[in-house]
């Protein structure tokens, strides 16, 4: 896994669920090498591999594939069997039909419907007890997981036309631009996403048993952090940067050349996506710094160098701007 990070909001959502079920969340966090913070820490970030450990342990502790956020609990193994059923179908339409049916037989925690419109399909979800999901982790997980797995089955990203949420914009709304890269609407009647009905006829790419088993071993990385065939310029630029030494970023001119664009065109298209080359570099430097701060054997100067800074002072100023904390103070919290 790349040195990606995730906001602490998601950790707190799992902690809240563990506490509600009488589990020792502090001990579980410690086992996953995640610090236990109190108060509002939405701006803090942790490495995603630590978060994946927490997801897996939460499932085991609560015996629930939906993290204790539904009633009744979803038995462990549900996704394993559903994925085998779905991936053996002829096309996506049949796979979704059988997958939805499988989940409805196993649990009435939420209802899923495929609603047909003129030229698009709406994947609609109604959670039975939304009060059990006050942080909206389940809502995001269900929509995102079904979209990602459906995309994996046909071997291409299903382009979303829109995503709707039956709650107000959350404090971590900025993360939604990555989870749901489409038109987003809040305070709606349903949880849903829409896509072209043409996808339903697309064949399921027959994977061998080993491929499916590999996918299942990395379920959370695949469902939450690994876009299928992400064609955004931001994703392409990140891939270009990742091919360089960790402390050496290619020039904007070189990136434009690799993408066969003029600098003006690339700048305009990035702006249309709501980003810039500087933002991409900053996000990657931030994630790299947070990752290395969990390695206690590295000095701040070494981390600054590995994160692409020529001197520690510039790194410290940037890190404080990103997180509201100095690297040293952040490491103490770790």
Query: What's the Cα-to-Cα distance from 188 to each of 126, 254, 319, rounded to whole Å?
Result: 12, 44, 37
Among the listed residues 132, 143, 240, 241, the one whose alpha carbon sits nearest the alpha carbon of residue 185: 143
- 77 φ/ψ sector (left φ>0, alpha ψ -120 to 50, else beta): left
Lowest pLDDT segment from 158-167, 224-233, 251-260, 297-306: 224-233
pLDDT digits (tens, 9 = 90+) for 93-123: 999 999 999 998 888 888 999 999 888 999 9
The separation between CA 278 and the C-alpha centre of its own chain, rounded to angstroms, equals 22
Mean pLDDT, the chain, whole residue set: 85
Decide if pLDDT at 253 tops 90. Answer: yes
Distance CA(164)–CA(111), nearest Å, equals 16
Q: Which domains does the chain have, with CATH numbers?
A: 5-62 (no CATH), 78-225 (no CATH), 233-333 (1.10.10.60)
The pLDDT, as a whole number, for residue 2 is: 53
Q: What is the pLDDT of residue 1?
A: 37
Give me the pLDDT at residue 226, please: 55
pTM: predicted TM-score of the whole model, two decimal places: 0.71
């Amino acid at each position: 896994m790349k040195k990606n990070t995730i906001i602490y909001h998601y950790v707190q959502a799992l902690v809240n669920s563990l506490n509600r079920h009488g589990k020792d969340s502090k001990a579980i966090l410690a086992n996953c090498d995640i610090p236990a913070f109190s108060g509002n820490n939405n701006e803090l970030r942790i490495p995603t591999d630590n978060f994946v450990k927490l997801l897996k342990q939460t499932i085991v502790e609560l015996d629930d594939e939906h993290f204790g956020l539904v009633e009744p609990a979803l038995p462990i193994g549900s996704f394993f069997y559903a994925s085998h059923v779905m991936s053996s179908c002829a096309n996506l339409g049949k796979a979704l039909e059988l997958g939805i049916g499988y989940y409805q037989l196993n649990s009435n925690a939420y209802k899923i419907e495929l609603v047909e419109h003129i030229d698009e399909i709406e994947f609609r979800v109604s959670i039975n007890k939304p009060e059990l999901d006050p942080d909206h982790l389940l809502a995001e997980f269900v929509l995102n997981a079904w979209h990602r797995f459906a995309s994996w089955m046909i071997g291409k990203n299903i382009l979303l036309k829109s995503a709707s949420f039956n709650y107000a914009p959350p404090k971590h709304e900025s993360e939604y631009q990555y989870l749901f890269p489409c038109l987003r609407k809040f305070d709606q009647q349903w949880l849903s996403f829409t896509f072209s009905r043409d996808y339903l006829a697309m064949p399921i790419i027959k994977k061998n048993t080993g491929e499916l088993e590999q996918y299942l071993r990395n379920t959370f990385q695949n469902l939450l952090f690994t876009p299928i065939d992400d064609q955004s310029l931001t994703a392409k630029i990140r891939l270009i940067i990742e091919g360089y030494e960790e402390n050496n970023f290619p020039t904007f001119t070189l990136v434009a050349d690799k993408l066969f664009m003029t600098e003006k065109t690339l700048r305009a298209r990035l702006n249309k996506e709501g980003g810039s080359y500087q933002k991409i570099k900053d996000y990657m430097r931030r994630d790299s710094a947070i990752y290395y701060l969990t390695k206690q054997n590295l000095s701040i100067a070494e981390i600054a160098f590995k994160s692409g800074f020529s001197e520690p002072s510039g790194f410290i100023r940037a890190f404080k701007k990103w997180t509201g904390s100095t690297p040293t103070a952040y490491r103490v919290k770790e």
